[in-house]
Structure 1
Amino acid sequence: MEAPICIRPAVLADAGIISRITERSIRVGCAFDHRNDPQRVEDWLAQLSAENISGWLADPHFYVNVALLRDKPVGVGMATTTGDIAFCYVQPEWFRRGAGRALMEDLQGWLRIRGVLHINLVSTRTGEAFYRRLGYRESAPPITHKGLQTLAMRKSFDSSA
């Protein structure tokens, strides 16, 4: 039996590992989306530098979390107070083992506590089925941005809960 996945809020010292996890997840796990085009990969990664991540970690409008398995970081996610999931990345060898779901449940809980009723995200084709399994639905037609096909998705909480 596999050890449980633990989720914790990220701290400033995590900026480097968050950047490395996102880079590896994009380079390896999202190859279907970027088709190993170096420019597409670099465009995608440009916003995910350790410096940018440090800024998000210091900003109270962002919540960044880390998934740990046996104290080893295996995934990261980020939400904003405006109700957006900015990202959810998992190391490719940990795909389909619960880390992404645990990250998303934590992000959704953080948003719900803040009174958010509708969560928005933008998915690549690689992530679309994952988000659909979590209850997200297409909220706009697919678009192509910098060579990547993306899909706006939304999930609403039951306002009576």
Structure 2
Amino acid sequence: MSFEIRPATPPDAVAACQVLRRSIAECCVLDHRDDPDILAAWLGNKHPGTVASWFESPTNYSLVAVQDGGIVGVSLLTGAGKLALCYLLPEAQRQGAGSALLRRMEERALALGMKALYLHSTATAEGFFAAAGYRRDGNVRSPYGVETILFWKPLVQGAQPDARKRFCNCNSA
């Protein structure tokens, strides 16, 4: 499949928000277990205005994956080196868009001088990140009640995990 990977802009927020909401609701059932309270908390900040503000923030770098003119994926890297978002529409999964977004984010992180990337993965996405070379470093409970897996990946030889990132409270996304 062919995807265009490009920087996200505020006008992309409505479509990107739909990607986030559908991916969480439909693909992350293993994580939220259809618990309406957990799902409501997780989706609580996934609204177009909030997503647009994430895209506008000078400390974030956001990308979208576009296929046939529609946004099918979204990712966001914070200035602190955290991959805060990497989500796809359910029908776009396992076609290469997620890997393309991840690869571009890693390239951007290197260009910004980051030595490693960090992320809090769902159980649903654990295999995806492990296959991409991310190393598991324990579990962390999210603010919305889901047990996440802390992953990190060295981007340069000799990079070591930063213990301060373990309990990152940067939950802007």
Q: 114, 117, 121: which one pairs with 1:116?
A: 114
Within 5 A, what are the aligned runs for 1:22-37?
22-37=20-35
Give yes or no for the alignment of 1:155 onto 2:153.
yes
Q: Does the residue aligned with 1:19 lie in a helix, a strand or coil?
A: helix
Amino acid across the alignment from 2:17: S
Q: 142, 148, 154: which one pairs with 2:139?
A: 142
Between Structure 1 and Structure 2, how many residues are aligned?
157
Q: Does the residue aligned with 1:142 lie in a helix, a strand or coil?
A: strand
What is the aligned-residue RMSD (CA, Å)? 1.4
- Per-residue deviation at 1:159? 4.2
Tell me, in whole angstroms, the C-alpha distance in 1 between the residues paired with 2:15 and 2:109: 24
Q: Deviations over 1:118-159 (max 9, x none)?
A: 1000001001100001100112x2233343121111000124
Q: Does the residue aligned with 1:44 lie in a helix, a strand or coil?
A: helix
> Which residues of structure 2 form unaligned runs of 5+?
159-173
Q: 3, 11, 14: which one pairs with 1:13?
A: 11
Amino acid across the alignment from 1:5: F
> Which residues of structure 1 form unaligned runs of 5+?
none
Q: Which residue of 2 aligns with 1:133?
A: 131
Q: Does the residue aligned with 2:31 lie in a helix, a strand or coil?
A: helix
Within 5 A, what are the aligned runs for 1:41-80?
41-80=39-78
Tell me, in whole angstroms, the C-alpha distance in 2 between the residues paired with 1:159 and 1:47: 36
Q: 74, 95, 100: which one pairs with 2:93?
A: 95
Q: Is the contact made by 2:106 and 2:155 (CA closer than 8 Å) also made in structure 1?
A: no
Q: Does the residue aligned with 1:27 lie in a helix, a strand or coil?
A: helix
Q: Deviations over 1:57-80 (max 9, x none)?
A: 111110111101122211100001
Tell me, in whole angstroms, the C-alpha distance in 1 between the residues paired with 2:156 and 2:16: 32
The 10-residue stretch of structure 1 (96-105 or 52-61) with the greater mean CA deviation from structure 2: 52-61
Amino acid across the alignment from 2:70: K
Runs of 4 or more above 4 Å deviation: none
- Return the structure number with greater helix share: 1
Amino acid across the alignment from 1:142: N
Q: How does the TM-score come out when normalised to structure 2?
A: 0.86
Q: Which residue of 2 aligns with 1:106?
A: 104
